[in-house]
Structure 1
């Protein structure tokens, strides 16, 4: 048995001390509790039990997830604001390898900016627009006049289009 402690009323826990470090590393890769359960071949409920019974395990998960989230947030911030980094460019000239140190620049990415703002200031940047009900009622007589005017304008536009097509020799009169 991996853990020799006696657990009254149940079977011994499969938890091992090295699981904290393994869980930390897996959380750095973005693992969820359900994925940790699959990794350790236990249920998500067991992962929750281990978090309650082993503070070092719970802390490892928290630290790993926090570090991974911080890295992703930093990458998103860099994409949203633009960034630069050093790079070595390698060229071959007349059979000789030439290495040139350059600074590569990336412009801000609009999609990352929008994503950032929608999450940081949802009231100002959300897609859903709240529209107040102005209780404007359509006057049936006005709607009829608009429909007649629309039809008249469309007839005139079709006639202008027909004359242009005749003038260009596309259709015959």
Structure 2
């Protein structure tokens, strides 16, 4: 049986230029489901294209990896703080006046917490797990002494 006679079903909608488009969509942070929506196909079709067309699969992986790296760099930068130069140009009677100011963005506590909780959940999560495998509870006895305050609250005649 020849290769062509074994093919059954509808012809593929896939085109070679989809690999480049998928790469760009991945850079934008789109998921496989969103990419399927862009191409107007079911998500299972995108998964099949990844199997049938290695260049399509690689382009999506490459795009997602680059996007993830950029986000990680931005989160890290926000967590530790950074400086940048702001340049302003103003028209004046003497010509264009250019002013450069160095500005500082202070570290962001929320970004720090997010980073640490994801990188070291054993140390920074809201519910850290104990270091030991012994999860048996130790009984604790609580004693509450209650005094009758009504005897002492009576006004004296």
TM-score range normalised by the length of the shorter chain: 0.7 to 0.9
- Asked if 1:137 is matched to 2:141, the reply is yes
Match of 1:126 in 2: 125
Residues 90-111 of structure 1: CA deviation (Å, up to 9, x unaligned): 4466796522122221111111
In the alignment, the residues of structure 1 paired with residue 109 and residue 16 of structure 2 have an alpha-carbon distance, to the nearest angstrom, of: 45
- The root-mean-square deviation of aligned C-alpha atoms, in Å, is 2.7
- Whether the aligned pair in 2 keeps the contact of 1:80 and 1:109 (CA below 8 Å) is yes
Match of 2:23 in 1: 24
Q: 1:13 to 1:97 in 2, by over 3 A?
A: same
Q: Which runs of 4+ in 1 moved over 2 A?
A: 89-98, 129-134
In the alignment, the residues of structure 1 paired with residue 94 and residue 42 of structure 2 have an alpha-carbon distance, to the nearest angstrom, of: 59
Match of 1:78 in 2: 77
In the alignment, the residues of structure 1 paired with residue 6 and residue 114 of structure 2 have an alpha-carbon distance, to the nearest angstrom, of: 49
Match of 2:110 in 1: 111
TM-score, scaled to structure 1: 0.73
Greater helix percent: which structure?
1
Q: Give how far 1:86 is off.
A: 2.1
Alignment of 1:18-97 (within 5 A): 18-91=17-90, 97=96
SS in 2 for 1:87: strand
Higher relative CO (Cα under 8 Å, sequence separation at least 6) belongs to: 2
In the alignment, the residues of structure 2 paired with residue 34 and residue 147 of structure 1 have an alpha-carbon distance, to the nearest angstrom, of: 63
Residues 78-130 of structure 1: CA deviation (Å, up to 9, x unaligned): 00011112220244667965221222211111110000000000000001145
Match of 1:167 in 2: none
TM-score, scaled to structure 2: 0.80
- Asked if 1:11 is matched to 2:10, the reply is yes
- Whether the aligned pair in 2 keeps the contact of 1:6 and 1:12 (CA below 8 Å) is no
Structure 1 unaligned runs (5+)? 160-173
Structure 2 unaligned runs (5+)? none
Q: 1:91 to 1:85 in 2, by over 3 A?
A: same
In the alignment, the residues of structure 2 paired with residue 73 and residue 7 of structure 1 have an alpha-carbon distance, to the nearest angstrom, of: 46
Aligned pair count reads: 144
Kindly name which structure, 1 or 2, has the bigger radius of gyration based on alpha carbons: 1
